A = this chain, B = another copy of it.
Amino acid sequence: MAHQHSASPSAPDAARRSERSRLAIYDAALALVAEVGYPKTTIEGIAARAGVGKQTIYRWWSSKADVLLEAFLDLGEQAARAAGQEPHAIPDTGDLAADLKQVLRATVDELHDPVFEAPSRALAAEGVVNEELGRRFVAQLLEPSLQLYVDRLRSARDAGDVRADIDPRIALELFVSPLAQRWLQYTGPITYDYTDTLVDYALYGLTPR
């Protein structure tokens, strides 16, 4: 019987929100980032392309980056829904090295996919300089993926394939972060060989056995 009173004064009523506009804005934002790049993507441009008033964007989002982050999350959800169910849990064949190499090779492919590249680069860049957005980017996009590595490493630890005293959240960075840095900062080529090597180095260490 409780009425739905809105907290902040004059907050927009989400129930009356136009779904059609929301989706058109996502499409326009992603298309523009891909076509003209993030810096030349403007709120006005998104509104025009989506056939939407500027105010409709300002009403529901706080910034260009905000729009793009939601658009990109939505894109990911669509892709997941299309693909079937679980996004892509890491396989567990019992061979940790092989499993990791396989997943990283898939990541290499994804990093080369232009559909994902433009928006995720844009969001990453914005996040570097805008901590608030950066943390949301990490929490909503990055961390869930990393958690899959944590799970797989924990399973490996239980199987005795990884030392018991290893912190999996740190361990995963040994092969994920180098790939991330090469992609973000153009510090080196991104190939299957490279990620395979990372896994080997990380699992067996640099020192002689």
Contact = CB atoms under 8 A, between A and B. Distances in A.
Interface stretch (A14-22, A75-83, A103-111, A127-135): A127-135
The interface size bin for chain A is 35 or more
A197 interface: yes
B162 A124 contact: no
B202 A205 contact: yes
Contact of A163 (B37, B188, B197, B206): B206
Contacts of A160: 208
A66 interface: no
A201 B171 contact: yes
A166 B205 CA distance: 10
Name A's interface SS: helix
Interface stretch (A24-32, A54-62, A84-92, A172-180): A172-180
Interface string A107-130: 000000000000001101111110
Contact of A161 (B135, B194, B207): B207
* Number of copies of this protein chain within its complex: 4
A174 B180 CA distance: 12
A171 B198 CA distance: 8
Given A177-B180, A180-B181, A138 B186 contact: yes
A39 B129 contact: yes
A167 interface: yes
A122 B127 contact: no
Interface centre among A126, A135, A171, A185 (most CB of B within 10 A): A185
B121 A186 contact: no
B135 A186 contact: yes
A129 B38 contact: yes
Nearest to A130: B39
B138 A185 contact: yes
A209 interface: yes
Given A127-B185, A127-B186, A201-B202, 4 more contacts: A143-B187, A174-B201, A201-B205, A205-B206
